[in-house]
Structure 1
Amino acid sequence: MKTLPILAVTVVVVCAAGGAWWAAQRHVHEPVAQTGDDGEVYWTCAMHPEVRMDAPGNCPICGMTLVQKRAAAQAATAHADTLPTVEVTAQMVQRLGIRTTTVERGRFWQRVDTVGRVEVDARRIRTLESRAAGWIEQQRVHAVGERVRAGETLAGVYAPELYAAQQELLLARRSGDEALQSAARQRLRLVGADAAQIDAILRRGEAQRALPLLAPADGVVLDLDVHEGRQIAPGMPLARIADLSSVWIIAEVPEAQLGRITEGRPAEARFAALPGEVFEGRIDYLYPGVDTVTRTARVRVVFDNPDWRLTPGMYADVALFGGARDDVLTIPSEALIRTGTRSVVIVALDNHRFRPAEVVAGDERNGRTVILDGLAENERVVVSGQFLIDSEASLRGAFGRMSAPAHAHSSGEGP
């Protein structure tokens, strides 16, 4: 039975010795000093910082000699209990590589980075329709996607009404009656002949059986309903041709970022198929409405495409530039500690003291973040080593919440 008391005493002695050794090691390498709110001298345990005494002595928990500390006076804030001030020695500042910078006030250019897809500029699509009943002859272009040039013949169109109008024009010229010639020209235009074709008929002096169906502009064939021998009727669409010298990129912008961009502002696009190249465009239109599933809105951006290198369907990384915001506070983005529910920075005070501060972060661009609330101009914030300080501050906050009952118990004071 005597073995149990002896064993218990042995365990206590070993634990006390181990605790004292660990506390001594921690005391040697401890970079942070316990702080309070009143600026008074007190004694605490390096191993148990929740212990605070008004006089020197030993720790009631582990028996280690208490260490004298001086509380740093600081203004009481709403978060003083959870975000305490932390003091770091000059040597530890160098060892941790702690760097600081000032909060700057100035101009901040807004930007939205997103993705988009190249589409045909709908304003540059030309539709060819039949003006008279007839048939397709001498087909020259056979497939959708073929490139055509302005004035290129797509096919020949034989229409009895068109052929008769040519003969009337030639008869009117032989008669010398200007009124008849003008009326014959007008009729030819109504059935589909253009001015150049009418002049060609007059130069030849004979009617042409099948007038050529000409491409109105350089472009790509989007739709083609022209097949040799096909019968056509007035109003029937024969082909659609898109001019690709200018294209649209339709970008998807998150709802929360719509306020950053306006029509007329510049934009940039980059393509995986064209590495290293940047294309410059202009925000042309913000479509009304937001997708109820993706919570994004469509934005139309116009890009010049003189060599047709951008083709419909290509995906792009798009940067949309908004206007400038003046008189805003910014800090390096690396100074922010994002916890998921809030953003915190470490504010550098005097005498190697640091204080976590909760902030409201705004837009981020080129390594700088707008601060909407929580900081003042010219305050200094930590940009390197802040995570170590924040971890220490979090521990101090937890110890601080426990220190009131522990202090009262260890000092013999009542509640």
Structure 2
Amino acid sequence: MTRFKMSPVGLAAATALTVAALAGGVMIGRATAPADAPAAAGAGRKVLYWYDPMVPGQRFERPGKSPYMDMPLQPKYADEAAAGPAPGVAIDPAQTQSLGVRLAKAQRGALPGGLAATGVIDFNERDVAVVQAKAAGFVQRVYGRAPGDIVAAGAPLADILVPDWAGAQAEFLAVRRSGDAALIRAGRQRLQLLGMPPGLISAVEQSGRVRDVATVAIPSGGVIRTLSIRNGMTVTAGQTLAEVNGLGRVWLNAAVPEAMAGQVRVGEAATASLAAYPGETFGGRVTAILPQTQAESRTLTVRIELPNAGGRLRPGMFATVRFGGLAQPALLIPTEAVIRTGRRTLVMLAGPRGTYQPAEIRPGREAGGQTEVLAGLSEGEQVVASGQFLIDSEASLSGVAARPIGGAPPVRGAASLIEGVGRVEQITTQQVTLSHDAIPALQWPAMTMSFRLADPHLAHSVKPGERVAFAFEQTSGGPVVRRLQRRPAQ
């Protein structure tokens, strides 16, 4: 038995041919017969045209070697192009596994409503106490307070000498000794109108002595935000001496992206986690969604009110907040199946007999690796979840139109004709080769390619070298020219 040995040159050529064949992508596996043996490869099947898998838009009438790659042209059979009404690009089932194609079904499910954002702890501006002077006087003593100090309710702030109160108190004590109840009541009311606190009036009544020094106390506990009183200074009636902000409840101002602001509702629950307290969460509720959007970050400020037992939550702390929205029913597909082109959003729809067609969709919310489909898909349709970019590239090269969001395939007929302008390079009764300008309807750039003629009589209306206007239809077997007209010279 004679053993065949391949020379190094032959081995290199075989390797190059193998690499070129693999570069053919999804088209490989449909026809691998040599160009000089079409009958044996096709086994009686009708060949529509020949093509190079690396340049599938260019078509040839006869077999031979590709002018682009050092490899034979591949046949395109009629049963591959017109096996049925299913639109799209066909892939040999034997190749789907090597391409890593994985399908997923569009199905109804519950999309988690949780939304995560970041925010900063801030003071509760609804819990602010302002300490003011009730009358004009002189500061005799300050009780060692400073901005940022945490004080309790009733803590003394300063002692103020009020000269006007001395005369009023002396008159009240004289009226009180008279025993006239009506006059005593009127004198006490006068002291209240002068701004004396009830505790000072009671002390004057019980002691019978004039008290013209009043101690100003803090009305509620919290942190001193501002302090504008110093020892020895003169104060006027109504002058603000200090501002105290309560710490019992704090605000968490979360920055929610503008695109997700519609998922947040006033009154819904929210949980916050802080780096200062790992493994611990703090619960609260959304109290307001501020009306102004931050122009720099395109975010809305959502205000969450949190209880602050023990004052552990300090303004300025950074927090991560998660809104506890309820899960909502939706038509879902895997997020990895979505192809975003910038102008539109597509999925690769799996059809019968190994065909695939791009379909335009309108996506909604995303959560947990799932994307909501608002329009463009029906429940039960299968989409490609892995390997879709390779199939999408093949569909673009083959000129396969995407299914519109309306859900119905493109209607065939005059309404579906695509207009173009180009120059005739070659023409026969079966096909025409055109160097056409860009075709915006299909996002095709200017290039040279061959089209089948719907009517052989169209070949007699133009000649090579002439500028023409043409209209063609996208079919499962490729583009077919249905109108071909000579353009007048300009």
TM range (shorter): 0.7 to 0.9
Deviation at 1:148, TM superposition (A): 0.7
Distance, in Å, in 2 between the alignment partners of 1:367 and 1:204 is 77
Q: What TM-score do you get using the length of structure 1 for normalisation?
A: 0.74
**SS, match of residue 264 in structure 1:** coil
> What residue number does 1:360 align with?
362
Distance, in Å, in 2 between the alignment partners of 1:304 and 1:253 is 21
1:370 aligns with 2:381: no
1:341 aligns with 2:343: yes
Map 1:9-408 to 2 at 5 A: 20-22=17-19, 33=30, 42=47, 44=50, 47=53, 49=56, 58-59=63-64, 61=66, 64=72, 66=74, 69=77, 70-71=80-81, 72-75=83-86, 84-89=88-93, 92-93=96-97, 95-108=98-111, 113-167=116-170, 175-202=178-205, 206-290=209-293, 295-320=298-323, 328-397=330-399, 405=450
Distance 1:28 1:169, change over 3 A: closer
Contact 1:121–1:244 under 8 Å retained in 2: yes
Letter paired with 2:103: T
Distance, in Å, in 2 between the alignment partners of 1:200 and 1:33 is 106
Distance 1:290 1:406, change over 3 A: same
Distance 1:199 1:254, change over 3 A: same
Distance 1:64 1:151, change over 3 A: same
Deviation at 1:240, TM superposition (A): 0.8
> What residue number does 1:8 align with?
none
Distance, in Å, in 2 between the alignment partners of 1:73 and 1:204 is 109
Deviation at 1:28, TM superposition (A): 11
> What residue number does 2:413 align with?
none
Q: Which one scores higher on RCO, CA 8 angstroms, separation ≥ 6?
A: 1
Deviation at 1:243, TM superposition (A): 0.7
Distance, in Å, in 1 between the alignment partners of 2:71 and 2:314 is 79
Deviation at 1:227, TM superposition (A): 0.9
State, as a whole percentage, how many aligned pairs show the same letter.
35
Contact 1:98–1:384 under 8 Å retained in 2: yes
Distance, in Å, in 2 between the alignment partners of 1:29 and 1:291 is 48
Contact 1:265–1:323 under 8 Å retained in 2: no
**SS, match of residue 132 in structure 1:** coil
Distance 1:167 1:66, change over 3 A: same
Deviation at 1:19, TM superposition (A): 7.0
Distance, in Å, in 1 between the alignment partners of 2:60 and 2:29 is 19
**SS, match of residue 288 in structure 1:** strand
Deviation at 1:244, TM superposition (A): 1.9
Structure 2 segments unaligned to the other structure (5+ residues) = 1-9, 32-44, 401-441, 460-480, 482-490
Q: What TM-score do you get using the length of structure 2 for normalisation?
A: 0.64
Contact 1:134–1:231 under 8 Å retained in 2: yes
Number of aligned residues = 382
Deviation at 1:262, TM superposition (A): 3.4
Letter paired with 1:405: S
**SS, match of residue 161 in structure 1:** helix
Distance 1:171 1:97, change over 3 A: farther
Contact 2:266–2:288 under 8 Å retained in 1: yes
Q: For 1:115-139, what per-residue CA distance to the aligned partner results, in whole angstroms no more than 9, with x for missing partners?
A: 4433322221111111111112221
Distance, in Å, in 2 between the alignment partners of 1:42 and 1:198 is 112
Distance 1:109 1:23, change over 3 A: closer
Contact 1:50–1:407 under 8 Å retained in 2: no
Letter paired with 1:285: A
Contact 2:29–2:95 under 8 Å retained in 1: no
Please report the RMSD computed on the Cα atoms of aligned residues, expressed in angstroms: 4.2
Letter paired with 2:247: L
Deviation at 1:335, TM superposition (A): 2.2
Distance, in Å, in 2 between the alignment partners of 1:347 and 1:22 is 29
